[in-house]
Chains A and B, each alone.
Chain A
Amino acid sequence: MVVAAADLRAPARADAAIPTVQVVDGFDLTDVLTGAALPTAGLITVAVNPDGTASFALPRAEVGQGITTAIAMVIAEEMDLALDQVHMTLADARPELLFNQLTGGSNSVHSLYNQVRVAAAIAKGQLTAAAAKALATPAQGLKIKHGIIRAPDGRATNYGSLTKKAAARRSKAVVARLKSPSQFSLVGTPQRRIDAVAAVTGQKQFALDLDVPNALPTMVCRPPTINGTVQGVANLDQVKAMPGVTDVAVIPHSKLVAGGVAVRAQTFGQCIDAVRALSVNWAPGPAAGKSDASVLGDLQQAELPMTPALGQALDQRFTFYFRPGDPLETNCAVADVRPDKAEIWSCLKSPVWAQEQLASLLGLSVGNVTVHVTEGGGSFGRHLFADAAFEAAAISKAMGKPVRLMWHRTDNFRQGRVHPMCTSRVRISYLANNVLAFDQRHTSVATDFGHGLGELLSAQVSNLPDGNFLAYSQSIFTLTANVPYNFGAVTQLLNEVYNDDVTFNTSSVRNIYSPEVTTAKEVMVDQVAKKMGQDPLQFRRAFARDDRMKGVLDAVAKAASWGRSMPAGAAQGIGVHHEYKAFAACVAEIDCRAATVNRTVKDGYTGPRVTKVVFAVDVGLPINPLGLQAQMMGGIQDAIAQALSYSLHLQDGHFLEGSWDNAYYTRQWNVPLDVQVIVLPATGTDPGGAGELGVAAAMAAVANAYARATGNVPTSFPINHGAPLGFDPLPTVPPIPQSPTDGLSEVH
């Protein structure tokens, strides 16, 4: 405040902006996660096979984000192998890895990069020493390419023939000789996904594609309100006698198991029939009677006070409604629970936590529970939890048979984990052409961190100023929310409601707080720039705290021809975001003209169309620029949806949306025709995070473009949430709809 007072007379020059310093500047969530993984880095091993290839069982989940490819590149680089000489699998749960098998916080590449390099370099060092001995040549003179080791005189050997000679008979300490980034020839080059052929030929196996003997299709009849519970079943025996049905069992609801009435049958079609036929007496869940309006009221009640305004102030509250965390693959798992052991297959981003919980749930020792991590058909935070694995295990135990559990899409929307509804109030105090203070009060339905991220933080929390005082949510908020501008005195505070974490099923849906925090912040940045009569881009450059931020801003401004003339009803908008040791900037162009907004698509939502997106990212050290582009492109599609159309309506304790034609995620008719992603050259030696990086800047850019195109500053997201529903909600009893039968009339 004192500084602010001293600067009141300052002119609007960049060097006159009032410096801002935050805790997150020096230590962020990425540091927490990477640091927590380090103690077990010595358990990360790369295997060299007799055919000269390398194998690595990745202790992370692959859900489409491309980390199997990126990590294979790192191994190939460090070992001088070709990319296709590295075989990647997903590791089973390895409890000895402690905090080093968590896939979250866009942290996998950052946390594994040096661990994997060291393991690969040690392997290469052993092989090189063995080659030097075999060829009777000093190791320094050997050249290695694609696993073939050549002496200066042309004689050669290869990794495959050296595996026995290179193996150490006992553990010993060695110094790993890592390549310097200037020697990289593979890392930093665009590489296609290593699993692409499997994906395009239908050979890529997801949990439900696995051939586990006798694991018959299984589904659950779920309650009409969120987290309702079974009181009784009127027709259990009749349903058990239906065609194809083998078992019906009541699965009690608990903190870990959603539960309901489970049915197992020869086909999923017969499961659907049985679920629909069940007559269940339900007790309502704790969300009974709640609606968007009641939750909004609760959020406003819980909002923490703002700092009193200095000078002039802009003050605005933004509302962000619930939105689904649905991947395209619904929650699913295969479970084979026996009296003395259990085997589970599921896409799990916290498999160690899941294994420990499963053991407890089943009354088995951890060592008797084998947890296989399967390839995931997307995640979006859903797989930080193990909802399907826990439920499948409970059902398999109750039925005494292996089960192949699949959630119906309608259940996935209505009972699955969601991004919590929240408000974000922003106050910007300014005088003349300077910003004196920035306050943000983020108030959210609690995000569930019960998957063990809390354990990570509790281990690391003493690294924080006042760290022991902060609870998990506040820690994560403090370590992610930031203001990348010199805005003087900055406060960003979180408060949460429904901390009991049973009222709503939530999780860190790509991403935890950042898209909302940043969109609210960036919309207000545009507004204060407007008040000062400054261009949004120039304003951001002038107040930027970091040159890397200016770098991404300049890149998008140039590529998007920032400021180009647009027709009335169309506009450009800009957004910027800093997180995961990376910077991102986005220019979006939106068309809000009536002819576009009023397009009609059968059973589809149209509305404004984002026509062009230019996105630039500086991740420090890019490992795979092609994979980074894919991640940003996906984040952009999320951002468009979150800003314009994608949400859940809460009414009477349940969500109305039950299909992809109700929940308006981006579809082809709303995809920008022009999307350019610029990956800036390396600005550092560590790879920043990418998985969630694309969403916030793009969502802010779309919101700002909408404001400039229409003259209406959006304060409620998605912007169509308050409009009349564009669909007839599916019934809640029975909980899932029957599949259509008219598919042949739709052949084209």
Chain B
Amino acid sequence: MSTHSFVLNGKPVSVDCPDDVRLLWVLRDLLGVTGPKYGCGLEVCKACTCHINGKAFNPCAVPVSDIQSTDEITTIEGLPATVGKDLHPMQEAWLDVDVAQCGYCQPGQIMAAVALVKEAKAAGRSVSDADLDGLRNVCRCGTYPRIRKAIEAAAAQM
């Protein structure tokens, strides 16, 4: 048992737990942050996608001891604050297109989408069909076509 500290959605947090507990469980079970969802615990379905220092990752596959005290972890709950608004442009696009059905995968989808657009923009290009094909997040309701439409719409606003 040791103390792990990091920055969560803009605020410093500390938690006592064994080193090998994956960050997803630290967030959900110990800190009560439930936006990131469990979908497999195998880094496959991507339902738990969050950001570390602005980049997408899956906390189900990261032992908490791998997180440094200066690392900034952003969950869906903290996404709007990264742009200083009530909703991130990606969330606005999600609402415009009415993407969600059951909603379970959607926090992970949105976090992955934001990272995808940022990655494309950093490379100086727009989001392509090939980029969208590369999104691995599972949506069992099959909202995929609307996810693509929302990402393309949001990319223009980011």
Binding site for B on A (CB under 8 A): 63-66, 192-193, 195-206, 208-209, 211, 217, 243-244, 266-270, 272, 326-330, 375-378, 380, 406, 408-409, 601, 603-604, 626, 630, 633-638, 659-661, 665-669, 671-673, 675, 737, 739-744, 746-748
Contact B43 A746 (CB under 8 A): yes
* Contact of A409 with B37 at beta-carbon distance under 8 Å, contacts A200-B100, A633-B143, A743-B59 already known: no
Contact B94 A200 (CB under 8 A): yes
Residues from chain A with Cβ under 8 Å of B134 in the complex = 668-669
In the bound complex, what is the Cα–Cα distance between A740 and B48 (angstroms)? 14
In the bound complex, what is the Cα–Cα distance between A637 and B142 (angstroms)? 5
Contact A64 B141 (CB under 8 A): yes
Query: Any chain A CB within 8 A of the CB of B103?
Result: yes
Contact B91 A376 (CB under 8 A): no
* Contact of A630 with B146 at beta-carbon distance under 8 Å, contacts A200-B110, A268-B25, A327-B104 already known: yes
In the bound complex, what is the Cα–Cα distance between A737 and B62 (angstroms)? 15
Q: How far is the CB of B4 from chain A (nearest CB, A)?
A: 13
B65 nearest CB neighbor, chain A only: A741
Residues from chain B with Cβ under 8 Å of A740 in the complex = 42-43, 60-61
Q: How far is the CB of A104 from chain B (nearest CB, A)?
A: 16
Residues from chain A with Cβ under 8 Å of B66 in the complex = 741, 743-744
Contact B135 A668 (CB under 8 A): yes
In the bound complex, what is the Cα–Cα distance between A637 and B147 (angstroms)? 13
Contact A204 B103 (CB under 8 A): yes
Query: Any chain A CB within 8 A of the CB of B47?
Result: yes
Per-position binary interface string of chain B over residues 136-155, scored 1 when its CB falls under 8 Å from any chain A CB and 0 otherwise: 11111111111110000000
Residues from chain B with Cβ under 8 Å of A244 in the complex = 17-18, 21
Contact B98 A668 (CB under 8 A): no
Beyond known contacts A636-B142, A660-B45: 10 more, CB 8 A cutoff = A199-B103, A268-B38, A268-B41, A326-B140, A328-B138, A329-B39, A635-B142, A741-B22, A743-B43, A744-B66
Cβ-defined partner of A660 (8 Å) among B28, B30, B44, B87: B44
Cβ-defined partner of B37 (8 Å) among A243, A329, A408, A742: A329
Contact B62 A269 (CB under 8 A): no
Residues from chain A with Cβ under 8 Å of B58 in the complex = 743, 746
Cβ-defined partner of B32 (8 Å) among A211, A217, A243: A211
Per-position binary interface string of chain B over residues 73-117, scored 1 when its CB falls under 8 Å from any chain A CB and 0 otherwise: 001110010000001000100110011111111110010000100
* Contact of A206 with B104 at beta-carbon distance under 8 Å, contacts A409-B41, A665-B140 already known: yes
Q: Which 3 A-B pairs have the closest CB atoms?
A: A202-B35, A64-B102, A637-B142
Query: Any chain A CB within 8 A of the CB of B132?
Result: yes
Contact A743 B62 (CB under 8 A): yes
Q: How far is the CB of A737 from chain B (nearest CB, A)?
A: 6
Residues from chain A with Cβ under 8 Å of B138 in the complex = 328, 660, 665, 667
In the bound complex, what is the Cα–Cα distance between A732 and B15 (angstroms)? 34
Contact A267 B30 (CB under 8 A): yes
Contact A193 B38 (CB under 8 A): no
Cβ-defined partner of B91 (8 Å) among A63, A200, A737: A200
Contact A270 B21 (CB under 8 A): yes
Contact A630 B101 (CB under 8 A): yes
Residues from chain A with Cβ under 8 Å of B110 in the complex = 200
In the bound complex, what is the Cα–Cα distance between A659 and B104 (angstroms)? 17
* Contact of A328 with B95 at beta-carbon distance under 8 Å, contacts A267-B25, A268-B25 already known: no
Residues from chain A with Cβ under 8 Å of B30 in the complex = 266-267
Q: How far is the CB of B83 from chain A (nearest CB, A)?
A: 14
Cβ-defined partner of A327 (8 Å) among B62, B102, B106: B102
Contact A202 B55 (CB under 8 A): no
Contact B57 A328 (CB under 8 A): no
Residues from chain B with Cβ under 8 Å of A746 in the complex = 43, 57-58, 61
Cβ-defined partner of A328 (8 Å) among B23, B41, B43, B47: B47
* Contact of A666 with B34 at beta-carbon distance under 8 Å, contacts A661-B44, A746-B57 already known: no
* Contact of A748 with B56 at beta-carbon distance under 8 Å, contacts A200-B110, A409-B45 already known: yes
In the bound complex, what is the Cα–Cα distance between A409 and B47 (angstroms)? 12
Residues from chain B with Cβ under 8 Å of A601 in the complex = 133
Cβ-defined partner of B39 (8 Å) among A63, A197, A409, A748: A409
Q: How far is the CB of A556 from chain B (nearest CB, A)?
A: 17
In the bound complex, what is the Cα–Cα distance between A330 and B43 (angstroms)? 15
Contact B142 A744 (CB under 8 A): no
Q: How far is the CB of A739 from chain B (nearest CB, A)?
A: 5
Contact B115 A748 (CB under 8 A): yes
B58 nearest CB neighbor, chain A only: A743
Contact A659 B37 (CB under 8 A): no
Q: Which of B34, B40, B106, B132 has the most CB of A within 10 A?
A: B40
B110 nearest CB neighbor, chain A only: A200
Contact B34 A328 (CB under 8 A): no
Contact B101 A198 (CB under 8 A): no
In the bound complex, what is the Cα–Cα distance between A637 and B103 (angstroms)? 16
Residues from chain A with Cβ under 8 Å of B61 in the complex = 739-743, 746
* Contact of A328 with B105 at beta-carbon distance under 8 Å, contacts A202-B35, A266-B29, A409-B41 already known: yes
Contact B104 A634 (CB under 8 A): no
Residues from chain A with Cβ under 8 Å of B139 in the complex = 328, 637
Q: How far is the CB of B22 from chain A (nearest CB, A)?
A: 5
Contact A328 B115 (CB under 8 A): no
* Contact of A660 with B40 at beta-carbon distance under 8 Å, contacts A200-B94, A630-B146, A743-B60 already known: yes
Q: How far is the CB of A137 from chain B (nearest CB, A)?
A: 40
Residues from chain B with Cβ under 8 Å of A666 in the complex = 142, 144
Q: List 28 A-B contacts (CB under 8 A).
A: A65-B101, A196-B94, A196-B100, A200-B76, A200-B99, A327-B140, A328-B45, A328-B102, A329-B39, A375-B102, A375-B103, A378-B102, A630-B98, A630-B101, A633-B142, A633-B146, A634-B101, A665-B138, A668-B134, A739-B60, A740-B42, A741-B62, A741-B66, A743-B61, A743-B62, A744-B57, A744-B66, A747-B52
In the bound complex, what is the Cα–Cα distance between A378 and B45 (angstroms)? 15
Q: How far is the CB of B97 from chain A (nearest CB, A)?
A: 9
Contact A193 B76 (CB under 8 A): no
B40 nearest CB neighbor, chain A only: A409
In the bound complex, what is the Cα–Cα distance between A270 and B29 (angstroms)? 11
Residues from chain B with Cβ under 8 Å of A272 in the complex = 41
Residues from chain B with Cβ under 8 Å of A741 in the complex = 20, 22, 61-63, 66
Contact B17 A267 (CB under 8 A): yes
Residues from chain B with Cβ under 8 Å of A748 in the complex = 55-57, 115, 119
Q: Which of A63, A217, A375, A660 has the most CB of B within 10 A?
A: A660
Residues from chain B with Cβ under 8 Å of A603 in the complex = 44
Residues from chain A with Cβ under 8 Å of B55 in the complex = 747-748
In the bound complex, what is the Cα–Cα distance between A266 and B28 (angstroms)? 11
Contact B136 A668 (CB under 8 A): yes
Q: How far is the CB of B88 from chain A (nearest CB, A)?
A: 9
Residues from chain B with Cβ under 8 Å of A747 in the complex = 52, 55-57
In the bound complex, what is the Cα–Cα distance between A298 and B130 (angstroms)? 44
- Which residues 113-133 in B have Cβ within 8 Å of A in the complex? 115, 119, 129, 132-133
Contact A192 B98 (CB under 8 A): yes
Q: How far is the CB of B23 from chain A (nearest CB, A)?
A: 8
In the bound complex, what is the Cα–Cα distance between A675 and B145 (angstroms)? 7
Residues from chain B with Cβ under 8 Å of A667 in the complex = 136, 138
Q: Which of B43, B76, B141, B144 has the most CB of A within 10 A?
A: B141
In the bound complex, what is the Cα–Cα distance between A89 and B57 (angstroms)? 34
B115 nearest CB neighbor, chain A only: A748
Q: How far is the CB of A263 from chain B (nearest CB, A)?
A: 14
* Contact of A672 with B29 at beta-carbon distance under 8 Å, contacts A327-B102, A328-B45, A737-B42 already known: no
